[in-house]
C-alpha cells in the first residue's frame, strides 16, 4: 500500500528507513492531476530504483499574478489510486504551509535560463520551479529524479541547478507521451474546449513541419521558425507565444542548424497555455 506523507519530518524518517534498508530512492515530482505522461515516469522510476516516491504539490511560487494557481486541476484521491496501482511506495503531499511556513526570503535564481522562452512571458516561474525542486531534493534525498522531455526548459534549469549546486543525484529525462493525434499529454489539456482541443494539435504539427524541413536540408533557423509561426497563426484561436529553434543543451540562439537543436513552441488557446518541443538534428529526422 502506498504511504501518504504530509510533513517534512515524516518524509525524512521515510528516507532514513529506505537508506537503512540499503535501497535506492527514485523521485517523480508532480503537481498532481496525473496522466499517462506522469505514469510513464513512475514506471521508469520503478525500473531504476529500490523505492519510488512521487510528490504531489501545486507550487504557488511558480504561478504568477493572474495565472491558474487557484483553478489548477486537483484530484488527490484519484491520483493516489493511480499511484497505488503503479506500486509507488510513498507519496509526499505537503500543504503549502508545510513547504513555506513563512513568506520565502531565499530562492534559487537560475539567471538567463529562466528569462528566455517560457520565462520571458512568465517572469519568476523558473525561480519558483528551481526553489521547490531544490527543497524536494533536500527533503527526499533521491538517488535519481525523473522528469519529462515535454518540459524541456524546466529540464535545462534543473540540470544546471544539479550541476552547479552539486546535488548528489542523477537526472533521467523520459520521452514525451502523446495522445494518438500527437498532442502532448498535459494536466492543462483538461481546460480546453472541444474546438480548442482539436486545434491544439497544431503544436505537434508545427514540430513535425520543422522535422520535415530540417530532414530536407533546411539549415537557416529563422526560416524554420517562420514556417512554424505561419502554421500556428493560421489556426483559429491560436495565440502564439513563441516558436523557436535553440541549442538543445544550453538553449542559446541558433542561426545555422549544424548540430542537435531544440525546436520549442508555446501557444495559448483562450486562457490555456500549452507547450511542446522536439530535439532534432540535421543528420537525421528520427531524434
Is residue 261 within 8 A of residue 279, CB to CB? The reply is yes
User: Whole-angstrom Cα distance, residue 189 to residue 177?
Assistant: 13
Alpha helices in 21-124 (DSSP H): 36-48, 76-85, 96-99, 118-121
Q: How far apart are CA 144 and CA 184, in angstroms?
A: 24
Strand 261-269 with 272-280, pairing: antiparallel
Whether residue 144 contacts residue 27, with contact meaning beta carbons closer than 8 Å, is answered with yes
**CA quadruple 120, 40, 175, 125: dihedral, nearest 10:** 10
Q: How far is CA 148 from the centre of its chain?
A: 5
138 in active site? no
Residue 160 Cα distances to 5, 14, 144, 251, 269, angstroms: 29, 28, 15, 12, 31
Distance, CA of 267 to CA of 93 (rounded, Å): 30
Report the C-alpha gap between 72 and 52 in whole angstroms. 25
Cα–Cα distance for residue pair 109/134, rounded to 1 Å: 11
Q: Name 194's Cβ contacts closer than 8 Å, sequence gap at least 6.
A: none
Catalytic site positions:
38
Amino acid at each position: 500500500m502506498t504511504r501518504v506523507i504530509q510533513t517534512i519530518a515524516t518524509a525524512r524518517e521515510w528516507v532514513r528507513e529506505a537508506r537503512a534498508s540499503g535501497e535506492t530512492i527514485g523521485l517523480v515530482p508532480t503537481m498532481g492531476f496525473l496522466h499517462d505522461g506522469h505514469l510513464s515516469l513512475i514506471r521508469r522510476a520503478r525500473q531504476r530504483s529500490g523505492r519510488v516516491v512521487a510528490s504531489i504539490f501545486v507550487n504557488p511560487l511558480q504561478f504568477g499574478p493572474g495565472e491558474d494557481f487557484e483553478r489548477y486541476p486537483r484530484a488527490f484521491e484519484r491520483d493516489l489510486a493511480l499511484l497505488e496501482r503503479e506500486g509507488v511506495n510513498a507519496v509526499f503531499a505537503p500543504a503549502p504551509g508545510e513547504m513555506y511556513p513563512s513568506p520565502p526570503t531565499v530562492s534559487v535564481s537560475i539567471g538567463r535560463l529562466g528569462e528566455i522562452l517560457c520565462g520571458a512571458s512568465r517572469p519568476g516561474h523558473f525561480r519558483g520551479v528551481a526553489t521547490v525542486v531544490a527543497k524536494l531534493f533536500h527533503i527526499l534525498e533521491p538517488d535519481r529524479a525523473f522528469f519529462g522531455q515535454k518540459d524541456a526548459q524546466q529540464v535545462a534549469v534543473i540540470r544546471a541547478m544539479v550541476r552547479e549546486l552539486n546535488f548528489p543525484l542523477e537526472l533521467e529525462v523520459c520521452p514525451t507521451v502523446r495522445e494518438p493525434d500527437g498532442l502532448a499529454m498535459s494536466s492543462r489539456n483538461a481546460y480546453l474546449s472541444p474546438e480548442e482541443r482539436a486545434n491544439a494539435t497544431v503544436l505537434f504539427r508545427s514540430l513535425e513541419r520543422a522535422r520535415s524541413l530540417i530532414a530536407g536540408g533546411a539549415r537557416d533557423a529563422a526560416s524554420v521558425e517562420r514556417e512554424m509561426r505561419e502554421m500556428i497563426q493560421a489556426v483559429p484561436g491560436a495565440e502564439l507565444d513563441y516558436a523557436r529553434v535553440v541549442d538543445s543543451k544550453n538553449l542559446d540562439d541558433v542561426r545555422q542548424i549544424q548540430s542537435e537543436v531544440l525546436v520549442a513552441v508555446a501557444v495559448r488557446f483562450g486562457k490555456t497555455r500549452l507547450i511542446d518541443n522536439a530535439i532534432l538534428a540535421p543528420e537525421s529526422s528520427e531524434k
